[in-house]
C-alpha cells in the first residue's frame, strides 16, 4: 500500500487515477450482487473520462438496498448483466491507480463478480486500491465520522446524488484531491 506522501508524488507527477464506486443488493459480496458501477478517471489536469452503468443483478433488489440508493428492480430489468459490461469496465480502469472510499467493499464486490464469470480478480498494482476512508482517518484525527457524505459536507464537496455510483466516485475523487492538498499544506 502506498503512503499518502507517495500518492501525492504520483499525483503531482501526472499519474492517472480512477475513483470507483459500486451500488449493491446488500453487504455480502458472496451472496449479494453489484447493481451499479461508477468510475471517474482523472489526473492532476482534471477529469479524463467517466464510466457509469446500471447492472441487472439477476436477483430481486431488497427494499433495504433500494431505500439507500433508489435503484429498483424496474430500473435494472433491461440493463446488461455484469459479464456483459466486465470487459469495458476492465479496459476503463486499465493502467490507472484505483481508489475508493472503503475500498475493500467495492474491490471485494468487483472481485466476487469477476470470480463468478471466471475472469479472475483485479491484480496488483491495482489492489489494494487507495482507500480514501483509511487516508481520511489518518489525516483528520479530530473527526469521529468518516462516511463519504459527512466528509463531503465538512469540505464543501457538492453531493448531487448520494449513494449513486458515479456521483459517489466523483465525490471520492474530490475527497482524494482535498486530502492531498491538506498534506501539501
Q: Which residues are catalytic?
A: 163
Under 8 Å between Cβ of 168 and 148:
yes
Q: What is the grid cell recorded at 164?
A: 449513486
Neighbours of 88 (CB within 10 A): 12
Residues β-bridged to residue 155: none
What lies within 8 Å, CB to CB, of 130 at 6+ separation is: 2, 7, 17, 97, 98, 99, 100, 103, 176
Q: What is the grid cell recorded at 117?
A: 464469470
CA distances from 108 to 19, 76, 113 (A): 15, 21, 9
Q: What phi, psi does 139 have (nearest 5°)?
A: -80, -45
- Strand 97-100 with 46-54, pairing: unpaired
Element spanning 86, H or E: helix 82-93
Neighbours of 183 (CB within 10 A): 15
Amino acid at each position: 500500500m502506498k503512503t499518502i506522501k507517495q500518492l501525492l508524488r504520483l499525483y503531482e507527477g501526472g499519474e492517472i487515477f480512477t475513483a470507483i464506486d459500486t451500488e449493491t443488493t446488500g453487504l455480502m459480496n458472496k451472496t449479494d450482487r453489484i447493481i451499479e458501477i461508477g468510475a471517474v478517471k482523472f489526473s492532476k489536469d482534471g477529469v479524463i473520462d467517466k464510466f457509469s452503468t446500471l447492472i441487472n443483478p439477476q436477483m430481486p433488489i431488497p427494499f433495504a438496498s433500494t431505500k439507500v440508493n433508489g435503484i429498483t428492480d424496474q430500473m435494472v430489468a433491461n440493463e446488461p448483466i455484469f459479464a456483459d459490461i466486465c470487459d469495458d469496465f476492465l479496459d476503463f480502469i486499465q493502467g490507472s491507480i484505483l481508489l475508493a472510499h472503503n475500498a475493500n467493499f467495492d474491490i471485494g464486490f468487483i472481485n466476487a463478480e469477476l470470480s463468478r464469470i471466471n475472469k479472475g480478480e483485479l491484480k496488483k498494482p491495482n489492489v489494494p486500491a487507495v482507500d480514501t476512508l483509511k487516508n481520511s482517518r489518518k489525516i483528520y484525527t479530530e473527526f469521529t465520522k468518516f462516511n463519504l457524505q459527512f466528509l463531503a459536507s465538512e469540505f464543501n464537496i457538492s453531493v448531487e446524488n448520494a449513494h449513486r455510483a458515479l456521483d459517489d466516485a466523483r465525490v471520492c475523487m474530490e475527497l482524494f484531491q482535498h486530502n492531498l492538498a491538506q498534506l501539501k499544506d
